[in-house]
Structure 1
Amino acid sequence: MKNYLREERINKELTQVQLAEMVNVSRQTIISIETGRYIPSVLLSLKLATALGKKVEALFELEKSD
């Protein structure tokens, strides 16, 4: 799964810590999502999208290999 979390976070001028606090997870979780090592749950995906003012589909994209 490809994600655009880092780009959208930077566009909103948020640090990883700030975003993590907004969605009640650790900074390590944000790092893991941004680097593609962790695929967030539906609930966390919705929280991230809401925090960034985006639709889930704008943050996460299925790849052919998924």
Structure 2
Amino acid sequence: MKNKLNDTTENKVYELRVLRKMTQKDLAELVDVSRQTINALEQNKYTPSLLLAFRIANQFGVSINEVFTYKRED
């Protein structure tokens, strides 16, 4: 029998965006998504595709690991 995994992701999109004095709309336009997607990301209600995660990290000039954290609890 398989155990249910509790996989979660956390991110620092909000912190990095505010540090750079960007609005959600600014970031959304730069990474080609809606403002609502950025809002959902910041609230950890949406897990981005790998491509979007790289776009966001690239926009902030940091590695993907500095923006997104994966946690797996068995």
Using the size of structure 1 for normalisation, the TM-score is 0.93
**What is aligned with 1:56?**
64
Identify the residue that residue 53 of structure 2 maps to in structure 1.
Answer: 45
Indicate the residue corresponding to 2:32 in structure 1.
Answer: 24
> What is the distance in 1 between the residues matched to 2:34 and 2:66?
22
* Structure 2 CA distance for aligned equivalents of residues 51 and 40 of structure 1: 15
Q: Which has the higher strand share?
A: 2
Q: For the residues of structure 2 that align with 1:8 and 1:23, how far apart are their CA atoms?
A: 14
| In 2, Cα distance between equivalents of 1:8 and 1:52 | 7
Deviation at 1:64, TM superposition (A): 3.4
TM-score with structure 2 setting the length: 0.84
How far off its partner does 1:62 sit? Answer: 1.3
SS at match of 2:71: coil
Mark the runs of 5 or more structure 1 residues left unpaired by the alignment. Answer: none
Instruction: Flag the structure with higher helix content.
Output: 1
Distance 2:72 2:48 in 1: 19
For the residue of structure 2 that corresponds to 1:37, the secondary structure is coil
Write out per-residue CA displacement over residues 29-50 of structure 1, whole angstroms, 9 at most, x where no aligned residue: 0001110010000000000011
The runs of 5 or more residues in structure 2 that have no matched partner are 1-8
Matched length: 66
